């Protein structure tokens, strides 16, 4: 609040404080009442002149910034229009939080589509990829960038330079301490370093490490030195009889009247001298000290704990002669671990030469092994070959060694860095799953987030068309694959297309979003090509020369700027964002629609100053969202049925049965038998009659 406003409140008139009438007829007097005036902005309000500043805080016609001004919206408007502006505010954005899970392929599952994923990558090179394959490759790239090698392979990490320095510093401190152990004048590693330095201060790269070690071990060294001094000086060590005498004298001095937790008999005095309320309050504040000094016992003393009940004395001679106590109740699923009737076993070492494999086969695939390790954590809840203490007798210890070509790895190496210059392989499933209550974002490494930002009025269209209509229906409905895809057939076809647009759905891997690609008839393309070829070259040169840009411009760029802006107004947000990348002229055309169709986001940038300091600042950035044209309904595309493909599918092999095949229970001998033979007896007994 400004000084002028505070001063006006102090000089408020007596009558004006309680007057709210539009027809006030009070006489104008100094320090009592002032004149009644209407609002200067013509909002219809009438008030006393001294209340004009207060009215401007509520006047609906005052121009104020948008409520999202802090998020980048630059518009100013009357206060009464703020609510309506939020529906079209360029800073009123929503981030899509749609999540899905894509698990790694299971090579041990006979029903997995490993053959399909290998063939589809080979055949899709240089061609338009199917929707599920394109999306799976993008998710795999995102997953490789997120997964780190350190949590799975800590033993294959390189030692950092700081750790090496600390180890060297600790080693130097220990060595110097060992060398000076025989020197009575030198009591610590620090004193030795100071003497070598001769300056009274520690210098060099190990100064911080030395200070940390000195702080950690100074108290221990001091306690050891004091104990050694007391032990060497017999005069300061009183005899046990003298100690008892001192205790008795101290007790006699206090007169057994104190309430300190360390005094003997304090509990009896508290019960006798304090009220129950005071006793409970004393126990609340000093209960821990009473436990420390042994005045009271814990709720469950160690000697009263029930461990196994009554134990039978059993002489333990060997591991197999040990008998489990009868009072030790445990699950019966591990009783065979203690069974002494098992055949004896002996450890044997196996060399890698016994495997008879090539040296190249020793190396494991970094991607497959890492994905398997993270999948084990997500499904089983622990790492592969993690030690497991089943009970107090046995501990399951497992080891798993990996040999990688790029090992050892750096501290923050990701899977994407480890897979550089490696051939592309799809190790994730083509089908994705919806996030459920069992698999959450925080607890699953294979969860993926949409993360695209849209205007508030565009979010409903994006979620309906992209996630509900396309993404969740890819497996067999929106995009249909051959029924023999599990054998390796890569045939697929899109079954649906928009009802209002002559376009097909495609996936942009760079933007990670679905989009609509217009389909033009072949006749139209041929006509336009023939018309361009039949045009007079001189006319084309005149058209190109009429505008700046030379011979590199197309026929669209020669149109007037106003016509281009009008044509661009019919495009969707995704098309406008791509149009801005064509040329400088098209970028200007797209920029003219930013205020109406674009959105403003905050982009954080780090600014470094000359003195070495840095500060993060938010910079507003105008851009278009990645929303394609709204599709209200879909209809079946004009594609042949999948049965037409099966006629020419190379994996569809018919099995023609020429010889007759007998059916069960058709033997003539069974008519005279009382008992019917089973199917197994017929097959094994060779009881077929033709």
pLDDT value, residue 128: 82
Q: Quick one: which of 413, 462, 416 has its CA closest to 138?
A: 416
Residues found in the chain: 690
- pLDDT higher than threshold 50 for residue 516: yes
Q: Is the peptide bond before 429 cis (omega within 30 degrees of 0)?
A: no
Q: Quick one: which of 561, 464, 476, 550 has its CA closest to 514?
A: 464
pLDDT value, residue 533: 44
End-to-end, the C-alpha distance of the chain in Å comes to 109
Which residues lie closer than 8 Å to 152 by C-beta, 6 or more apart? 369, 370, 373, 374, 383
- pLDDT higher than threshold 70 for residue 486: yes
pLDDT value, residue 666: 58
636, β-bridge pairs: 496
Residue 311 pLDDT grade (very low, low, confident, very high; cuts 50, 70, 90): low
Q: Quick one: which of 33, 38, 62 has its CA closest to 50?
A: 33
Q: What whole-number distance in Å separates Cα of residue 13 and Cα of residue 83?
A: 35
pLDDT value, residue 209: 58
Q: What is the 3-state secondary structure (H, E, C) of 545-577?
A: HCCCCHHHCCCCCCCCHHHHHHHHCCCCHHHHH
Q: Which of the given ranges, 141-155, 242-256, 261-275, 430-444, has the highest pLDDT on average?
A: 141-155
Residue 540 pLDDT grade (very low, low, confident, very high; cuts 50, 70, 90): very low
Q: Quick one: which of 67, 95, 85, 142 has its CA closest to 625?
A: 95
pLDDT, greater one: 364 or 492: 492
Q: What is the pLDDT of residues 72-95, one digit of tens each?
A: 898 999 999 999 998 889 999 999
Q: Quick one: which of 575, 563, 437, 565 has its CA closest to 501?
A: 575
- pLDDT higher than threshold 90 for residue 396: no
Residue 90 CB burial class (10 angstroms; 0-12, 13-18, ≥19): buried
CA distances from 449 to 19, 100, 101 (A): 59, 7, 9
Q: What whole-number distance in Å separates Cα of residue 593 and Cα of residue 366?
A: 48
Residue with tokens 């006030």: 24
Of 375-384, 391-400, 558-567, 636-645, the poorest mean pLDDT is in 391-400
Q: How many CB atoms lie within 10 A of CB 15?
A: 18
- pLDDT higher than threshold 70 for residue 689: no
Query: In this prediction, what percent of the chain has a pLDDT beyond 70?
Result: 64
Task: Give the distance from CA 206 to its chain's centroid.
Answer: 37
pLDDT, greater one: 244 or 613: 613
pLDDT value, residue 259: 76
- pLDDT higher than threshold 70 for residue 200: no
In the predicted model, what is the mean pLDDT of residues 308-322?
53
Identify the sign of the CA torsion 303, 307, 309, 314: negative
pLDDT, greater one: 536 or 197: 536
Q: Is the pTM of this model over 0.95?
A: no
Residue with tokens 């802090």: 70
pLDDT value, residue 627: 92
pLDDT value, residue 573: 92
Average of per-residue pLDDT values in the chain: 75
Q: What is the pLDDT of residues 4-37, one digit of tens each?
A: 444 444 456 888 888 888 888 888 888 888 888 9
Q: What whole-number distance in Å separates Cα of residue 533 and Cα of residue 531?
A: 5
pLDDT, greater one: 384 or 331: 384
pLDDT value, residue 500: 83
Which residues lie closer than 8 Å to 283 by C-beta, 6 or more apart? 290
In the predicted model, what is the mean pLDDT of residues 133-145?
93
pLDDT, greater one: 670 or 411: 411
Which residues lie closer than 8 Å to 543 by C-beta, 6 or more apart? 555, 558
pLDDT value, residue 303: 56
Residue 436 CB burial class (10 angstroms; 0-12, 13-18, ≥19): exposed
pLDDT value, residue 463: 94
């Amino acid at each position: 609040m400004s000084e002028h406003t505070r001063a006006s409140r102090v000089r408020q008139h007596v009558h004006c404080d309680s007057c709210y009438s539009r027809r006030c007829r009070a006489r104008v007097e100094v320090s009592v009442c002032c004149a009644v005036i209407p609002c200067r902005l013509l909002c219809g309000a009438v008030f006393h002149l001294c209340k004009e500043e207060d009215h401007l805080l509520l006047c609906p016609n005052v121009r104020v910034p948008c409520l999202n001004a802090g998020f980048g919206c630059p518009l100013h408007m009357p206060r009464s229009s703020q609510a309506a502006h939020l529906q079209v505010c360029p800073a009123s954005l929503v981030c899509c939080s749609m999540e899905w899970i894509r698990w790694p392929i299971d090579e041990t599952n006979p029903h997995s589509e490993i053959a399909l994923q290998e063939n589809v990558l080979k055949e899709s090179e240089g061609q338009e990829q199917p929707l599920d394959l394109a999306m799976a490759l993008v998710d795999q790239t995102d997953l490789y960038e997120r997964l780190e090698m350190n949590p799975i392979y800590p033993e294959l990490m390189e030692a950092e330079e700081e750790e090496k320095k600390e180890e060297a510093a600790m080693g130097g401190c220990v060595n110097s301490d060992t060398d000076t152990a025989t020197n009575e004048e030198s009591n610590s590693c620090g004193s030795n370093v100071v003497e070598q330095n001769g300056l009274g201060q520690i210098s060099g790269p190990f100064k911080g490490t030395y200070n940390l070690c000195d702080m950690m071990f100074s108290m221990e060294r001091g306690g050891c030195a004091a104990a050694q001094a007391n032990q060497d000086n017999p005069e300061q060590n009183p005899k046990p009889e003298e100690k008892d005498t001192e205790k008795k004298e101290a007790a006699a001095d206090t007169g057994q009247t104190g309430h300190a937790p360390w005094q003997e008999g304090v509990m009896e005095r508290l019960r006798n001298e304090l009220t129950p309320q005071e006793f409970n309050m004393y126990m609340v504040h000093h209960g821990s000290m009473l436990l420390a000094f042994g005045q009271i016992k814990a709720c469950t003393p160690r000697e009263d704990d029930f461990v196994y009940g009554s134990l039978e004395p059993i002489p333990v001679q060997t591991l197999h002669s040990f008998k489990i106590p009868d009072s030790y109740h445990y699950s019966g699923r591990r009783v065979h671990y203690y069974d002494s009737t098992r055949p004896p076993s002996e450890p044997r070492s196996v060399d890698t030469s016994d495997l008879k494999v090539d040296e190249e086969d020793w190396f494991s695939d970094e991607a497959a092994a890492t994905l398997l390790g993270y999948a084990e954590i997500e499904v089983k809840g622990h790492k592969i070959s993690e030690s497991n203490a089943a009970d107090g007798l046995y501990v399951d210890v497992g080891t798993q060694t990996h040999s990688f070509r790029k090992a050892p790895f750096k501290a923050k190496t990701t899977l994407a860095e480890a897979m550089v210059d490696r051939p592309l392989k799809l190790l994730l499933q083509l089908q994705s799953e919806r996030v459920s209550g069992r698999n959450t974002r925080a607890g699953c490494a294979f969860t993926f987030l949409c993360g695209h930002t849209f205007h508030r009025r565009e979010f409903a269209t994006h979620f309906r068309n992209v996630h509900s209509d396309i993404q969740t229906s890819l497996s067999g409905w929106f995009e249909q694959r051959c029924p023999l895809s599990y054998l390796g057939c890569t045939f697929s076809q899109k079954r649906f297309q928009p009802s209002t647009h002559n376009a097909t759905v495609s996936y942009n891997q760079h933007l990670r979003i679905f989009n609509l690609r217009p389909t033009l008839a072949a006749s139209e393309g041929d006509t336009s090509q023939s018309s361009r070829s039949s045009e007079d070259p001189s006319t084309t040169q005149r058209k190109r020369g009429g505008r700046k840009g030379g011979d590199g411009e197309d026929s669209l760029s020669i149109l007037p700027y106003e016509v281009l802006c009008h044509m661009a107004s019919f495009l969707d947000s995704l098309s406008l964002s791509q149009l801005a990348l064509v040329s400088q002229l098209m970028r200007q055309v797209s920029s003219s629609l930013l205020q109406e169709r674009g959105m403003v986001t905050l982009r954080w940038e780090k600014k470094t100053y000359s003195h070495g300091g840095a500060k993060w600042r938010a910079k507003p950035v105008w851009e278009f969202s990645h929303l394609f044209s709204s599709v209200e309904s879909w209809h079946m595309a004009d594609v042949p049925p999948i049965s037409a493909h099966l006629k020419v599918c190379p994996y569809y092999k018919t099995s023609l049965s020429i010889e007759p095949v007998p059916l069960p229970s058709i033997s003539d001998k069974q008519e005279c038998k009382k008992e019917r033979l089973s199917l197994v007896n017929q097959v094994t007994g060779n009881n077929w009659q033709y």
